[in-house]
Structure 1
Amino acid sequence: MSRSVAFIGLGHMGAPMAANLVKAGHRVRGYDLVVTPGAGLEPAASARDAVADVDVVISMLPAGRHVLGLYDDILGAARPGTLFVDCSTIDVADARTAHDRAVTAGMRALDAPVSGGVVGAEAATLTFMAGGGGAEFAEARPLLEAMGKKAVHCGGPGAGQAAKICNNMILGVSMIVVSEAFVLGESLGLSHQALYDVASTASGQCWALSVNCPVPGPVPASPANRDYRPGFAASLMAKDLGLAANAARAGGVNAELGMRAAELYAAYAERAGAAEDFSGIVRAIRDRSGEQT
């Protein structure tokens, strides 16, 4: 069934996600502070204009403060009962606050952050992790499936964000240790291809190795073969690991590797920012090992 959708936040992730909704036959009104809506999207003059008279509002923004600020601006402009789906990756507490503000304003809400990066957004192969009511998830599911390959209802408000930061803690730690293994292999005279051929079919196999391999050669589609152009930017990984570290501290969780990964990516992202894929941390590991990049 075709829905009318407002899509707010048309950056590297939001623009292809909105385009895939259009391809699936939905009417999409787009708004971004900087980016002009692409072909097939109806341009809106403002965020408030975008949400007037639509069935669903989808947002994809950098941080919790942006989401909360947006909701403060637009909740009064949407018709009662509109479903708000936030696909940003933000703090669990901010996600719950956004949900509460939407419900108080007479709306319905779902937090639905994504995994899969720009490549997944373009190919409509994202995984969505949703938090909120079952009825809201059921309503949003056809839209999520138009933008991705899988949508999982993780629980109540904020549960999608909880799943996202836990997943990315696994990914960040995995990428660091895969990178360390390749640098160790180099020091021992082992070729990248030989290590990959063994680990990718043995107990070391993981997504960070087999899909986003941090060295050029073994996986032609990985960012390492494009001079580490993202992909999933180092700055975004640092942000997500920071959220995970904050949650671990708040919950009294002894997450030693997650905490250390957050520190390493914070230091790496300070230099690489949004210009390099998070797999480029292999070069920082080489530098600290005294190797030439």
Structure 2
Amino acid sequence: MPSRRLAIATSAEYPSVQPDDAHLAASLERLGLPPAVRVWNDPAVDWSAFDAVLIRTIWDYFRHHAAFLDWLDRLDALGVRTINDSALLRWNSDKRYLLDLAQHGVDIIPTRLADAAALPDTLAALAGQAVVIKPSVSGSAWHTLRGTAGDAALAAAVAQLPRGRDYLVQPFVPEVVSHGEWSLLYFAGAFSHAVLKRPAAGDYRVQGEYGGSAEPAQPDAAILAAAGRALAALAALGHGDHAYLRVDGVVSGGRFLVMELELIEPFLHLAAQPAAAERLAQDVAARLAPTTLAGLR
């Protein structure tokens, strides 16, 4: 079989395979795809040396969004496949995609989009409501604010936000604190496993760097059906093919509300799911089969 060359893309802060992806990397190697770990924005990397790039822990892409989009353009020009697909990565890199999902009937947390200059007027229309504000291009609660619209403290914090960016304004959903946030993992379009994430006491952010925790959990049929509608909407938008996908959401008022679809660099919670890691590795290997690669060229 002709040699197939796979890179795993990461960020400078995480220059090696992370523990959660260790079984995935080992499975790829057993399938004849020993992955080479490369920092996505390292100018010394010769990306033409690879047939494909598996996007994993590029956990700083949102801080360098223009460079990230340029990198995808460069990979496309070189004929180097990205997993997930580069068009999907571009779409998913700006959270305004939530509005696209809503137009296709997906229940999302109600979302308003405003640039920095328009935020005061947007918040004025929501006076007295608990809100969360985040950049449309962001991750890990970067530049995220929580407060009450109309309060001086929130107005002062908003005034310090970076200009030249667009922001999402959403109601704060208290169930994130009281019941937790769901993450449902899908590989090659099929549900694999789920975790329920909870913030540390006194916080609302579920990310581990803020003290949040995640525990394996089994979603009920209603949650799975709601997530399935999000996948159907994604397909209707022309993005039906994805090796991995994480659906994040919260149950509020009896409905599962989608908070995000994570298709770029989600933490996949694979450490306790070796079979899932192997399924993902097998799907990646199939995408890099010589006949598949030949058809893409």
Common topology (TM > 0.5)? no
Q: Larger % of helix: which?
A: 1
Q: Which one has more relative contact order, counting CA pairs under 8 Å at least 6 apart?
A: 2
Q: Larger % of strand: which?
A: 2
